[in-house]
A and B are shown apart, each in its own frame.
Chain A
Amino acid sequence: MNVLLWVIVPYLSLAVLVGGLVWRHRYDRFGWTTRSSQLHETAVLRWGSPMFHFGVLMVLVGHIGGLLVPKAWTEAVGITEHTYHLMAVFVGTVAGLCTLIGMAVLILRRRLTGPVFAATTRNDKAMYVVLGAVLVLGLWATVRANVAGDGYDYRETISPWFRSLFYLSPDPQVMAGVPVGFQIHILAAFALFAFWPFTRLVHAFSAPVGYFTRPYVVYRSRDDRRGLRPTRPGWEGPPTLPKPRAAAGRGSQPRRGAR
């Protein structure tokens, strides 16, 4: 059971994440967008969206710090467990609350603004459930461990296990003793990772960092455009000659359209 939950599920979900992203990049570059609804409604979004996004970025930084940086390193620079813990709980709770409130604002806006609700897909709704679950579970696990209990040092168990996934020598045993709250949070997060490439969340992976270094105006030659050359989606193998009568169906040719 331990091996299933803490070795097979994580690897499977990461494989789906990476494979899904590659597949979507090759097959559905046109669908890879934020699908912003700001055109329909600005007043609420203006508060909700930055709150959620900056919050979630802070949460991300916190998770990187907590999971990827070994405890020995922080102690080596003189941060005691107690200091670290206080800081992590305080900043983490603020960031988590910020994210959660932002998300609640955004979901309420989505439900209550007619045009935005009309533009919401089933995929979006499912994504909100999973994303919301991960957030609530994470916050709940932290708060419960610190308010009800006397704190839980995940850097002794969860972090080494998480890093071990990347050394390719997973160590599921340490996860057995972790509180159930954290366990559920982690499993929900891996479910989210597996769902990620198939939702609008993909836009996170196209964060436009290149904007800082590129010149303002981009020139491109017509040669860059692939026009009508028959290119194939990723899973179709090498190009073949065009079929005499292609089957009816949705056009699925990746192409740099321009409009």
Chain B
Amino acid sequence: MRVMAQMAMVMNLDKCIGCHTCSVTCKQAWTNRSGVEYVWFNNVETRPGQGYPRTYQDQERWQGGWVRTRSGRLKPRSGGRLKRMLSIFANPKLPAMQDYYEPWTYDYEHLLTAPAGEDTPVARPKSLLTGEDTKITWSANWDDSLAGGNEIAAGDPILRQVSEQVRQEYEKAFMFFLPRICEHCLNPSCAASCPSGAIYKRSEDGIVLVDQDRCRGWRMCVTGCPYKKIYFNHRTGKAEKCTFCFPRVEIGIPTVCAETCVGRLRYIGLMLYDVDAVGRAAATEQETDLYQAQRSVFLDPHDPEVIAAARRDGIPEDWLDAARRSPIWDLIMKYEVALPLHPEYRTMPMVWYIPPLSPVVDILRDTGHDGEDAGNLFGAVEALRIPVEYLAGLFTAGDPAPVHGVLRRLAAMRSYQRRINLGEERDESIAAAVGMTGTQLDEMYRLLAVAKYEQRYVIPTAHAEQAHHLEELATECSLDYEGGPGMGGSGPFGEASGSPAPIAVENFHALRQRQTADTVAAPADKATRVNLLNWDGRGRPDGLFPPRRDPDGDGHAPGQGER
């Protein structure tokens, strides 16, 4: 047994209203740069729907993740080492820009400079790739809330796999939102696909990162990741991915997406796991057993044997304490309500989901039944085949049994708590029907419905003795680095050559020089962004809000916000 700690996330899908706040704040913090205009480290997709990039879940087509060979070993689905090297000159399975979408902006300047004329001037869409006029035909959430109806939702790979004869009737379609970030897998196939070895899993907290200085732009990781959460920066020629906001997590604050989540549906915490068991678990023969196989890899932080092994393997005491208080442990192991996204890809993902009960409740209510009565709900979970099988296609490799179990526990909690809310007696039989007690249902309810910030985000900080190695919490002035303050512009060898500025410094300048460029494609000053990564909610960084009217009425906004 070799113990490692993993920073993990659980999202409660019943609470997601699809507002995209997580996506927008993530983009502002991380991908508000040229070359990654099309990139969303966090995106929210509507299910059923094609997702982003389109149909990424169709691994027959995109060849992401791992496959189990006949001898029982794992190899990347797109091929082993030799095959990958032979296809290095033209990756046959790389999604094209059209599979994401062509990024665009609008020619706003025309609104101001158009000569007087008969017609109102319009701001034409301009491609951010070429600067030419473009027609907007797709985006990261084009099919949001089932927009496009049958025509687009029919392209959903999971729906196709649920049943050949599902004829979607638009007005009867169920719908929910699925926010996605990088899964920070225990067995990352992106790292396995990287010829340069630039993608690594941090041994302290399990965050999967791309070393920007080692990446050589072979673009194999994009194919390797079955979730398509590695993106190719087409200006720097390097792969980029969700970082789990490591500069924030290292100092104990949650990721930007979790911090800004309006529905408070995200939970962050530690999981201890046995590294030596990962490979065997990921190579489990039956795909439907992979969910349980992954659970078997996790180690109980309350178990004295595990604690002793963790101490031996150098996990600090406060991290062990955080692992014991981890909401992730409770949701995955104690209440068994969280499920992994696509365990059949065999990457052992570490962002788990509490499947939504609402499609079931909605259908029940629409048919005139009491949608929160325990008996009705239990019956509906069994009877409503399509939503449940669809959820199973997402979370348990198609096995409806675990999904049934989770939905029944959620249904029990809902009707149990409703009785309390209505002043009726506690009905222990509801809890007993799902093998729990009333107290447990109460605890689960507290965690799912009323948990405070400190309970939802249990993030131990990195250690003071490591402070010198951290991104944000530097022991010296963050501007004391070679070349001094200054960023923007390109090196002599193409876009963004030279070394990247440390993220802290980059943000400092982003706060000063934002949103000033007026060129469309390839802005000369690439430091044009509002960066939320270090904005603490106080003050008014320029460009984040519309300018304030000067009280004297000369229409000029004050140059600097009050800081």
Q: Could you name 7 residue pairs across A and B whose Cβ atoms are closer than 8 Å? A: A31-B498, A34-B217, A41-B96, A49-B89, A121-B495, A251-B486, A255-B213
Cβ–Cβ < 8 Å partners of B495 in chain A: 119, 121
Task: Report yes or no: B232 in contact with A228, Cβ–Cβ below 8 A.
Answer: no
Contact with A along B168-206 (1 / 0, CB 8 A): 000000000000000000011001101111011111100
- Answer whether A255 and B500 are a contact pair too, CB < 8 Å, given A118-B522, A250-B486: yes
Known: A28-B499, A35-B494, A258-B243. 17 other contacts (CB 8 A): A30-B212, A30-B497, A33-B216, A33-B238, A39-B94, A40-B97, A52-B89, A206-B216, A211-B196, A219-B200, A227-B502, A228-B481, A250-B498, A251-B501, A255-B499, A255-B502, A259-B212
- How far, in angstroms, from A257 to B498 measured CA to CA in the complex? 12
**Centre residue among A49, A50, A218, A245 by max chain B CB count within 10 A:** A218
Our pick among A34, A222, A247, A254 for the contact of B466 (Cβ within 8 Å) is A222
- Answer whether A257 and B234 are a contact pair too, CB < 8 Å, given A225-B469, A228-B481: no
Contact with B along A212-249 (1 / 0, CB 8 A): 10101111111101111111110010000011011111
Task: Report yes or no: B232 in contact with A36, Cβ–Cβ below 8 A.
Answer: yes
Cβ–Cβ < 8 Å partners of B211 in chain A: 256-258
Cβ–Cβ < 8 Å partners of A233 in chain B: 482
Q: Is B419 an interface residue (CB 8 A)?
A: no
The smallest C-beta distance from A135 to any residue of chain B, in angstroms, reads: 17
Q: Interface segment, B111-119, B420-428, B443-451, B472-480?
A: B472-480
Task: Report yes or no: A218 in contact with B217, Cβ–Cβ below 8 A.
Answer: no
The smallest C-beta distance from A25 to any residue of chain B, in angstroms, reads: 10
The smallest C-beta distance from B2 to any residue of chain A, in angstroms, reads: 11
Cβ–Cβ < 8 Å partners of B203 in chain A: 219-222
Interface residues of B (CB under 8 A from A): 30, 76, 81-82, 84-85, 88-92, 94, 96-97, 127, 129-132, 187-188, 191-192, 194-197, 199-204, 209-219, 232, 234-238, 240-241, 243, 246, 462, 466, 468-471, 474, 476-489, 491-505, 521-522
Our pick among A41, A219, A228 for the contact of B474 (Cβ within 8 Å) is A228
- Answer whether A39 and B97 are a contact pair too, CB < 8 Å, given A223-B469, A247-B484, A258-B209: yes
Task: Report yes or no: A231 in contact with B482, Cβ–Cβ below 8 A.
Answer: yes
Task: Report yes or no: B493 in contact with A251, Cβ–Cβ below 8 A.
Answer: no
Number of interface residues of A (CB under 8 A): 77
Task: Report yes or no: B90 in contact with A50, Cβ–Cβ below 8 A.
Answer: yes
Task: Report yes or no: B188 in contact with A34, Cβ–Cβ below 8 A.
Answer: no
With both beta carbons as reference points, the residue of chain A lying nearest to B96 in the complex is identified as A42
Task: Report yes or no: A251 in contact with B483, Cβ–Cβ below 8 A.
Answer: yes
Q: Is A29 an interface residue (CB 8 A)?
A: yes
Task: Report yes or no: B499 in contact with A252, Cβ–Cβ below 8 A.
Answer: yes
The smallest C-beta distance from A122 to any residue of chain B, in angstroms, reads: 10
Cβ–Cβ < 8 Å partners of B501 in chain A: 251, 253
- How far, in angstroms, from A45 to B246 measured CA to CA in the complex? 36
Cβ–Cβ < 8 Å partners of B97 in chain A: 39-40, 115
Task: Report yes or no: A118 in contact with B482, Cβ–Cβ below 8 A.
Answer: no
The smallest C-beta distance from B213 to any residue of chain A, in angstroms, reads: 4
Task: Report yes or no: B237 in contact with A248, Cβ–Cβ below 8 A.
Answer: no
With both beta carbons as reference points, the residue of chain A lying nearest to B198 in the complex is identified as A218
Our pick among A28, A29, A40, A228 for the contact of B504 (Cβ within 8 Å) is A228
Cβ–Cβ < 8 Å partners of B500 in chain A: 30, 251, 255, 257
Cβ–Cβ < 8 Å partners of A46 in chain B: 90, 92
Q: Is A32 an interface residue (CB 8 A)?
A: yes
**Centre residue among B192, B213, B491 by max chain A CB count within 10 A:** B213
Residues of A contacting B: mostly: loop
Cβ–Cβ < 8 Å partners of A123 in chain B: 492-494
Our pick among A31, A217, A253 for the contact of B494 (Cβ within 8 Å) is A31
Cβ–Cβ < 8 Å partners of B187 in chain A: 217
Task: Report yes or no: A220 in contact with B237, Cβ–Cβ below 8 A.
Answer: no
- Answer whether A220 and B202 are a contact pair too, CB < 8 Å, given A118-B131, A228-B481: yes
- How far, in angstroms, from A254 to B500 measured CA to CA in the complex? 8
Cβ–Cβ < 8 Å partners of B478 in chain A: 228
Q: Is A27 an interface residue (CB 8 A)?
A: yes
Task: Report yes or no: A119 in contact with B89, Cβ–Cβ below 8 A.
Answer: no
Cβ–Cβ < 8 Å partners of A222 in chain B: 202-204, 462, 466, 469-470
Cβ–Cβ < 8 Å partners of B241 in chain A: 259
Task: Report yes or no: B496 in contact with A37, Cβ–Cβ below 8 A.
Answer: no
Q: 10 tightest CB-CB pairs across the interface, nearest first?
A: A246-B484, A31-B497, A208-B195, A35-B237, A216-B192, A242-B480, A33-B217, A33-B237, A251-B501, A115-B129
- How far, in angstroms, from A221 to B89 measured CA to CA in the complex? 31
The smallest C-beta distance from A155 to any residue of chain B, in angstroms, reads: 31
Cβ–Cβ < 8 Å partners of A124 in chain B: 494
Cβ–Cβ < 8 Å partners of A232 in chain B: 482
The smallest C-beta distance from B379 to any residue of chain A, in angstroms, reads: 45
Q: Is A200 an interface residue (CB 8 A)?
A: yes
- How far, in angstroms, from A252 to B131 measured CA to CA in the complex? 30
- How far, in angstroms, from A42 to B87 measured CA to CA in the complex? 13
Our pick among B218, B468, B485, B492 for the contact of A229 (Cβ within 8 Å) is B468
Q: Is A78 an interface residue (CB 8 A)?
A: no
- Answer whether A221 and B502 are a contact pair too, CB < 8 Å, given A34-B237, A49-B90: no
- How far, in angstroms, from A117 to B521 measured CA to CA in the complex? 12
